[in-house]
């Protein structure tokens, strides 16, 4: 598979990465097979996270047979403070069976509160900078679901890589964030290239993404046939057709404005409801084992049951979602799955 220069990191990475969330659902043996098949297909960029259950351990097992320098590993820490960051980084290194991680990200800087905590004295940024000096991390990075916050952090010049949601439905990054990353020579990882499981047409998804030459899509992979299909599309450098564009416009209309972009502008909720977690729960059920998905969104759903329908969130939502109605729908959906 063709390799491309990944911004100021100078790393030569495959034109598509391997996302490590879905292998939580399969056995270690199967996960190893899937990761090694991806590498066999020419994918040298593996992305996971401290919080993805046993994903790091499974990837570490899969990578034992390869030269470390031949694989580019990315992982993430959700920590806000230096102490937690250091502990999570060391655990990631142990799980992955490596002395260093190429690209280590702050996981989900999507609110001003998290941003401020990370950059405060004794915050996680101090841990990140020390780990870079110690050689445990090669390049500092972060992921986010908030474009305004992400772009502010990108402009700080303290990071080499950014990871943001991007697909033919969630396309806001195309207007400013992707051009900014290109201008700053930052690597750009396209998170949720298939909408976190909401989009089921790989051909359409990756033809669209291939029209952007400065990004690396990071699809979550569970099965060998999935990565073979995606790698084939990328290898052939398939381009959007007129029919594809028409289909994308149709799907955008069908999705309409009633899906959560996880920008969290609706927050804070007076009842403490984690609105975006509830509204996007279907993605979790598509990516995770059922029991873990129920556990993952359970507390958020419980908080949603306390909604007073004050509609303050509706006033703040830039996409005009009728959030109280959508919360009720998601709670009912969760209850139906829990019964099963």
Helix (H, G, I), strand (E, B) or coil at 239: coil
Query: pLDDT tens, position by position, for the chain (340 residues)?
Result: 999 999 999 999 999 999 999 999 899 999 999 999 999 999 999 999 999 999 999 999 999 999 999 999 999 999 999 999 999 999 999 999 999 999 999 999 988 999 999 999 999 999 999 999 999 999 999 999 889 999 999 999 999 999 999 999 999 999 999 999 999 999 999 999 998 777 889 999 999 999 999 999 999 999 999 999 999 999 999 999 999 999 999 988 877 767 787 777 788 899 999 998 899 888 778 777 888 888 888 999 999 999 999 999 998 886 778 999 999 999 999 999 888 8
State the pLDDT at residue 116: 97
The answer to whether the peptide bond before residue 339 is cis (omega within 30 degrees of 0) is: no
- What DSSP string runs through 277-323? HHHTHHHHHHHS-HHHHHHHHHHHHHHHTT-----HHHHH-TT---H
Give the residue among 165, 126, 148 at the shortest CA–CA distance from 283: 165
State the pLDDT at residue 267: 85
State the pLDDT at residue 196: 78
- Measured in whole angstroms, how far is the alpha carbon of residue 193 from the centre of its chain? 9
3-class SS shares of the chain: helix, strand, coil, % to 5 = 50, 15, 35
State the pLDDT at residue 103: 98
| β-strand pairing of 45-47 with 18-19 | parallel
State the pLDDT at residue 109: 94
State the pLDDT at residue 207: 97
State the pLDDT at residue 309: 95
d(CA 16, CA 46): 9
State the pLDDT at residue 286: 74
State the pLDDT at residue 26: 94
State the pLDDT at residue 195: 85
Give the residue among 169, 252, 262, 166 at the shortest CA–CA distance from 212: 166
State the pLDDT at residue 3: 96
Place of tokens 């593996």: 46
């Amino acid at each position: 598979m063709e390799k491309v220069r990944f911004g100021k990191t100078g790393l030569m990475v495959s034109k598509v990465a391997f996302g490590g969330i879905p292998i939580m659902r399969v056995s270690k043996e199967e996960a190893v097979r899937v990761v090694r098949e991806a590498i066999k297909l020419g994918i040298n960029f593996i992305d996971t996270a401290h919080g993805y259950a046993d994903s790091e351990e499974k990837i570490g097992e899969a990578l034992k047979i390869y030269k470390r320098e031949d694989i580019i590993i990315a992982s993430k820490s959700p920590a806000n403070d230096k102490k937690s960051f250091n502990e999570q980084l060391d655990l990631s290194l142990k799980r992955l069976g490596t002395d260093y991680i190429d690209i280590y990200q702050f996981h989900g800087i999507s609110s001003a509160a998290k941003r401020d905590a990370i950059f405060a004295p004794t915050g996680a940024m101090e841990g990140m900078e020390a780990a870079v000096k110690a050689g445990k991390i090669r390049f500092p990075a972060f992921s986010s679901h908030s474009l305004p916050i992400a772009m502010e952090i990108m402009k700080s010049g303290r990071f080499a890589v950014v990871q943001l949601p991007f697909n033919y439905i969630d396309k806001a990054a195309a207007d400013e964030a992707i051009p900014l990353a290109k201008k700053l020579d930052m690597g750009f990882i396209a998170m949720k290239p298939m909408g976190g499981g909401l989009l089921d047409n790989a051909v359409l998804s990756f033809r669209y993404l291939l029209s952007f030459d400065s990004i690396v899509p990071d699809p979550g992979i569970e099965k060998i046939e999935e990565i073979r299909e995606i790698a084939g599309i990328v290898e052939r450098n398939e381009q959007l057709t007129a029919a594809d564009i028409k289909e994308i416009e149709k799907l955008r209309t069908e999705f309409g404005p009633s899906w959560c972009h996880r920008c969290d502008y609706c927050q804070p909720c007076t009842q403490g409801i984690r609105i975006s977690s509830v509204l996007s729960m279907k993605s979790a059920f598509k990516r995770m084992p059922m029991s873990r998905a129920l556990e993952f969104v359970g507390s958020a759903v419980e908080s949603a049951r306390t909604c007073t329908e004050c509609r303050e969130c509706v006033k703040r939502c830039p996409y005009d979602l009728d959030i109280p109605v959508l919360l009720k729908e998601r709670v009912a959906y969760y209850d139906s799955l829990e019964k099963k």
